[in-house]
């Protein structure tokens, strides 16, 4: 009888400890999910910032309402070269990067800061 009471008491204590651990785990998971949901804007901003040089060049070209052909003629390269830069097949030389920045009205640093 005495042993049964001790076993029952121990079972109750371990049950409470287990229940407390589960509640604590639930609270931690809830806090983490809330933090993740609130960070949606930050994640979206980072995804906009981190992109390839080609994507950045294309965005600036379209923002300025320029065609690949116009950009190519303005800086003295072929339209295919501009296409390759935008698709990521190749990168512009340093002198062409400076020319592109000037054409788009931004600094070279701004172009490169937007790149992953």
For 53-112, the pLDDT digits (tens) are 899 999 999 999 999 999 999 999 999 999 999 998 999 999 999 999 999 999 999 888
What are the pLDDT digits (tens) for 7-30?
788 888 888 999 999 999 999 999
Q: What angle do CA 85, 86, 87 make, to 5 degrees?
A: 95
Identify the CATH number of the domain defined by range 52-113.
1.10.260.40
The shares of helix, strand and coil residues in the chain, as percent rounded to the nearest 5, are 80, 0, 20
What pTM was estimated for this model as a whole?
A: 0.56
Q: Which residue carries 């800086």 as its tokens?
A: 75
Break the chain into its structural domains and give their ranges.
2-38, 52-113
Give the C-alpha separation, 80 to 83, whole Å. 5
Sign (positive or negative) of CA dihedral 41, 44, 50, 56: negative
């Amino acid at each position: 009888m005495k042993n049964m009471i001790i076993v029952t008491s121990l079972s109750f204590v371990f049950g409470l400890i287990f229940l407390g651990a589960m509640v604590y785990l639930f609270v931690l998971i809830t806090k983490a999910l809330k933090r993740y949901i609130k960070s949606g804007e930050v994640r979206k901003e980072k995804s906009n910032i981190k992109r390839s040089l080609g994507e950045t060049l294309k965005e600036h070209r379209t923002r300025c309402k320029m065609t690949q052909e116009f950009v190519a003629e303005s800086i003295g390269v072929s339209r295919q070269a501009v296409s390759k830069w935008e698709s990521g097949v190749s990168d512009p030389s340093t002198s062409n990067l400076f020319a592109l920045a000037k054409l788009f009205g931004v600094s070279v640093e701004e172009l490169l800061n937007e790149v992953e």
